[in-house]
Amino acid sequence: MCNNNQKFDSQSIAGKVRELFLHHGIGKRQHAKELSRVLDLSFSHAHRKLKGQSPWTLEQINRVAVALGENPAVIVDFPHEADTHMQTMAQNAIFSVAGIKLPCTGHIGHELLSGRQTEFVGLQQDGVWTIYRADEAPPGRRFSVELIEIRPSHLDDERLSIAVLDDAHQAADELTKYLNSQGFNAVAFYDVSSFCQALNKCPFDGYVVDWLIGQETAQKCIETIRASEHPDAPVLVLTGQLGTYLRESEIARAMRDYDVLGPYEKPVRLHVIEAALQRCFNL
């Protein structure tokens, strides 16, 4: 089994992918959206990959290269001893070792002829590849395994990220807790400053914001979202002042100018917000 921590440096690969996107006419603001599409990731996960903050697998490198009509070697420099790895097929697999089964990416080679020795072998059953140590493998057609990549499940959160902004802490926390229970990755913010700081570091996939935060409106927050690297993210606006002409006028203007959704009246109907987000993301 090969250790590829040095071969597949996340920062280096991210830089090469960004360069390739630009070379193929994909604008900087579209990079995360395009990578999200190619690798079937959430926008925030794709953004972390392009920042070099999330590890890359050979399978992901191959998929990006194929999507752009390029050779994977353009993205990562493979040493000569890795040439045989490029001739194998990356497959989602189960690595069975010491009675433990781990999800992995296995680079499966040719079927092994009788008498050929190898440390690890791959067997396929009902469309699923399982990798064993050769002396522990059950009977069946055996294939060579050139590389095994273990995918630690704790490194990447592929749930859709949702920022919740409300200066009423209890309301923000309640909505955040509910969205997390429904499969989203929601984070609560209680003031404009911390919200904008977090947004500048890494955009979210979607936003739920109360229109009135303290003594100011959420307009600055919405402007920041629309100027971010994910300007088309859905923004749901909440308000507890629908009966106030001034607030209704402000929100109506934001709906026209910034394409926000709502307003959704407070107290928040949790199921309604969930349904609105599901519709935005076609879930």
pLDDT digits (tens, 9 = 90+) for 210-228: 999 988 999 999 999 999 8
Give yes or no: residues 126 and 173 share one domain.
Answer: no
CATH number, domain at 220? 3.40.50.2300
HSE-CB of 170 using CA atoms within 13 angstroms: 2
Residue 218 lies in a domain: yes
Give yes or no: residues 127 and 212 share one domain.
Answer: no
Q: What is the pLDDT of residue 8?
A: 59
Give the confidence band of 122 by pLDDT, cuts at 50, 70, 90: very high
Give yes or no: residues 67 and 95 share one domain.
Answer: no
Give yes or no: residues 32 and 121 share one domain.
Answer: no
* Cα distance between residue 123 and residue 269, in whole Å: 51
User: What Rg, from alpha-carbon coordinates, does the chain have?
Assistant: 24
Total of domains in the chain: 3
Among residues 140, 109, 111, 146, the alpha carbon closest in space to that of 126 is found at 140
Residue 155 lies in a domain: no
Least confident range from 81-90, 149-158, 183-192, 259-268: namely 81-90
Q: Note down the domain range covering 208.
A: 161-280
Residue 18 pLDDT exceeds 70: yes
Q: What is the pLDDT of residue 48?
A: 83
Residue 186 lies in a domain: yes
Residue 166 lies in a domain: yes
Tell me which of 4 and 188 has the higher pLDDT.
188
Mean pLDDT of the chain: 84
* Contact yes or no for 6/13 (Cβ under 8 A): no
Encoded amino acid at 124, one letter: Q
Give the confidence band of 4 by pLDDT, cuts at 50, 70, 90: very low
Angle at 269 between CA 267 and CA 271, to 5 degrees: 165
* Cα distance between residue 257 and residue 116, in whole Å: 68
